[in-house]
Every structure is written in structure tokens, then in C-alpha cells.
Structure 1
Amino acid sequence: MEPWPTVAWVIILMVIANWMKTAHTRDFTENDIIFLHPSTTPYPGGFKCFTCEDAPDNYECNRWAPDLYCPKDARYCFTQHRINLDGNTVAVTKRCVALSDCLSTGCTDVDHEGHRTCTACCEGNICNLPIPRNESDAVFATTSPLSGAPRPPTSHPLLTITTLMLTLLFFSHV
């Protein structure tokens, strides 16, 4: 028997195994969001958040999140990520929330079960795709000011540098 049929079968099995590996990826992409979550809204400014309760990981949460719009009183997407001492996910919870639920973002110390909890909030349609893993991820990200008060005007960087240079020049000649 010639070795070529055996080599051909090995190559075919390798291609199938590689195809299956890519078919079962654990990454959730923005293309998945577009496919799963259409952009029409039931009311002006309506938006969606990924929603799950104690999902085993971020992929399962995002994959099976109900395709529902947030209530009008909920303006933000909330994510809570529980992590064990090895850095592995224990549970993921995501939902629509009001401002008051987003005022305590960040990460907790390790609890008596050996878990750390990181909480993040964001503003925008399905903005809670990723999970917070550390203090730099566990933030409250908004796209608009939290209060209706006017913001102080910001100065242009070039104006600031010019003012600083003129001040230094003035005091060096005095």
C-alpha cells in the first residue's frame, strides 16, 4: 500500500480540526453585535446593553444576552466581573442601570471565597462588550457630561504653551 492515501487523510483531518477550532472561537466581535442586535430603536435615544446574570464567562454572556431595549430610566450599561486568584472568570453579570448604580466602579479586594470583583459602567449602545479585569478597566465611561451644568471652557494647548513661554521670558529679564 502506498503512503499517499494515509498522508492525504492526515491532511484532511488537520484541515477539519483547524476549521472546527475557528468555528468554536471564544471571542465575540463587533460583527456579532451587528448581526445579533439590529439598530432600530422603539423610542428616541433607545439603546441596548448585554444582559446576563452570573454567566460562566464573557462569551456566554454576550452570546446569549437577550435582545431587549433598556428601559427609559436606565441610561448606562453595567458589567460586574468576578475573578478567582488565578485570574480566571468565576461569573459575569451585565445589565441596564440608572446613574446611581454606576457611582461605585472599580475593583474590590479579594473576599473570603478568594474572589475579586471588578465593576464597570459605560454609556452607549451595547458598549459593555468587554469585561473589566483590573483597576484600569473598571471605570465609568460616559460620552456626555453627568450634570446639565455648563462645562468650563478649555484652553487650547498652544495658547497655554505660549502663555507659559511669555511668562518665563518676562521673569528672566526682570
Structure 2
Amino acid sequence: MVRMLPLRHALAIAVVQIFILSGNWASAKNINFYNVRPPLDPTPFPNSFKCFTCENAGDNYNCNRWAEDKWCPQNTQYCLTVHHFTSHGRSISITKKCASRSECHFVGCHHSRDSEHTECRSCCEGMICNVELPTNHTNAVFAVMHAQRTSGSGAPTLSLPGLAWVFGLLLIRGHCS
């Protein structure tokens, strides 16, 4: 005679299977939603990257919208943004480009009393990281990525599918006893 599982056990097993099949959900914590990703295409060399690029654009929207989609040269490592704006915050010109470390040495904001405008410069490291404009000393910075910890360091973590598997074993064990 076939024995039927109680509804709660069947439901628990179904939930466990859903978690196991959806293993990619566990890696969602590692996604950087602020990073715009270009379509995948072959890179010209290892560690290639792209930046928004424009010269003397009138506003950030048009700079980013019409930015040329090309890989940065091999002698560059960062994306540079130079923003000139009035004392009322209205953009005068925006320049974005691929840059070397030496071009990123002078980040920050500088007010010109002669022309009554401010220039803020920022540099960042990463694929198309120069989306926003620097407008003050808080965001006119040199932002670099920190290396990920190696798998051998820190406390071990258990993924969602792993937890679901343990939970399923406990359910089955509890059912059998």
C-alpha cells in the first residue's frame, strides 16, 4: 500500500527543491547594480574596460547618451570626469575620458574667482564607472576597486542551495523517525 506524505511535508519538500533549483539567487548579493554593463564582446587585451567619453558636452545626459562605445587604450586604467559648472550648479561643460594614473592625480574641486565657475574632477576604476558627475568634495574623488578576499580567508559561508539541502535532510530524517 502506498503511503502519502502529509501536505506540510510535501510542501516543505517542494520549497526545498525550488531553492535548490534557484541557486543563482544566492549570488545576487554580489551584483553591483550601479555598474552599467556593455554588451559582451571580445576584449582587445586582458583587463580591458570602457568609460563614458565626451568632450565639452553641455550636460551629463547628452554626454552619456552619445558616448562613443569603444575600449580604452592599454596605457589607461581609469575613467576621468571633468565637470565645469556655475555657482548655481548649472553645468557649463563636461569631459569624460579614459585616463592614466597621472591624469587622475588632481581630483577634487577648485573654484575659479576669475570666471566664477567651479571645476570638479573625479576618477574611478571599473567598467563604465563614470556615470555620475562630481559636484563637490564628497564625490570628486579617486575611487578604486579593492581586491576581493581570497576564498581561503574569512569565515566560510553556506549558500542558499546548501541551506535548502540541509533543511531537506532534516525534514526527511524527522519524517523517518
Q: TM-score, normalised by structure 1?
A: 0.61
How many correspondences in the alignment? 114
Match of 1:66 among 65, 68, 82: 68
- For residues 99-122 of structure 1, give each alpha carbon's deviation from its aligned partner in whole angstroms, at most 9, with x where no partner exists: 000011000023412110000000
RMSD between superposed Cα atoms in Å: 1.9
1:3 alignment partner in structure 2: none
Which 5+ residue runs of structure 1 have no aligned equivalent?
1-28, 146-174
Q: Deviations over 1:49-81 (max 9, x none)?
A: 000000000000000000010001100000000
SS in 1 for 2:111: coil
Which stretches of structure 1, 4 residues or longer, exceed 2 Å deviation after superposition? none
Could you say which residue in structure 1 is the equivalent of 2:94?
92
Deviation at 1:30, TM superposition (A): 6.1
CA distance, structure 2, for counterparts of residue 39 and residue 95 of structure 1: 21
Q: Structure 2 CA distance, aligned partners of 1:124 and 1:131?
A: 16
Higher relative contact order (CA 8 A, sep 6+): 2
Deviations 1:23-52 (A, max 9, x none): xxxxxx969x44xx3233222111000000
Name the amino acid aligned to 1:120.
Answer: S
Q: Which residue of 1 aligns with 2:40?
A: 39
Following superposition, the deviation at residue 94 of structure 1 comes to 0.2
- 1:129 & 1:42 partners in 2: Cα distance? 23
Structure 2 unpaired stretches of 5+: 1-32, 148-177
Q: SS at 1:104's partner residue?
A: coil
Matched to 2:110, the amino acid is T
Q: Normalising to structure 2: TM-score of the pair?
A: 0.60
